[in-house]
Amino acid sequence: MIVEGERHILVVDDEPDICENLRDILLDCGYRVDIAANGDAALELLARGAYDIALIDLKMPGMDGVELCRRIRDQKTGTVGMILSAYVGPKAAADAVAAGAWRVLAKPINPMELIGVIETALDTPLVLVVDDDRDLCGSLRDALNEHGFRVGEAHSAAEAEHHLRGGAPQVVLIDLKLADADGLEVFRQVQTRSPSARAILITAFRDEMAGRIGEALELGAASVHYKPFEPRRLIDSIRAAIGDSIRGDSPAVGGES
Domain termination residue (choose one: 60, 87, 122): 122
**Residue after which a domain boundary falls, among 73, 91, 122:** 122
pLDDT value at 54 more than 60: yes
Same domain, 159 and 222: yes
Total-model pTM: 0.72
Number of structural domains found in the chain? 2
CB 34 within 8 A of CB 45: yes
By residue count, the chain amounts to 257
Q: What is the mean pLDDT of residues 29-43?
A: 95
Q: Write the pLDDT tens digit of every residue in 87-114.
A: 777 888 888 888 888 889 989 999 999 9
Name the residue range of residue 200's domain: 126-247
pLDDT confidence bin for 148, thresholds 50/70/90: confident
CA 252 vs CA 177, 188, 216, 255: distances in Å? 23, 16, 11, 9
The verdict on residue 62 lying in a domain is yes
Residue 78 pLDDT > 80:
no
Determine how many CB atoms are found less than 10 A away from the CB of residue 68: 29
Residue 255: inside a domain: no
136 or 49, greater pLDDT: 136
> Of the candidates 131, 167, 132, 133, which has an alpha carbon nearest to the alpha carbon of residue 150?
167
Whether residue 115 is found in the same domain as residue 192: no
CATH number of the domain bearing residue 90: 3.40.50.2300
Using N-to-C axis directions, what is the helix angle for 65-75 and 39-48, rounded to 10°? 20
Judgement on whether residues 134 and 188 belong to the same structural domain of the protein: yes
The verdict on 185 and 96 lying in the same domain is: no
For 191-221, write each residue's pLDDT tens digit: 998 888 999 999 999 999 999 999 999 999 9
Averaged pLDDT of the chain: 87
